[in-house]
Structure 1
């Protein structure tokens, strides 16, 4: 959705804002990762920061797994 000059990745599903908000709530509800959101060009956009020196590839893999699992459970138009 936007350039990533630091360790902040902005992305969204190819779905409406409600589906993206549901994805955020579902992932955050696991307590395993914490995403935030913003609006880019008026569209609800998820944000994942991966800048901690303690972050490992395993952390990123887990975040991706959670995002994928939750996205696959959503009903999108």
Structure 2
């Protein structure tokens, strides 16, 4: 019974760590190789824009990814 309770507590603590925040707009400053998820109208329903930062002189990578594979929560965040 103790091991079940301990497992339940650990899963409750670990679950919020897996979620990513979905931003409403793309941030101006983004570190190289940093990944953010943005709600973007150019992506179809059920998908979010995944933006990956790049080193100086290169363009950021942008791709529409399914929300489930991104493991993102629709929490409100201010960029």
Q: Give the TM-score range, shorter chain.
A: under 0.3
Higher Rg of the two aligned structures: 2
Q: Higher helix fraction: Structure 1 or Structure 2?
A: 1
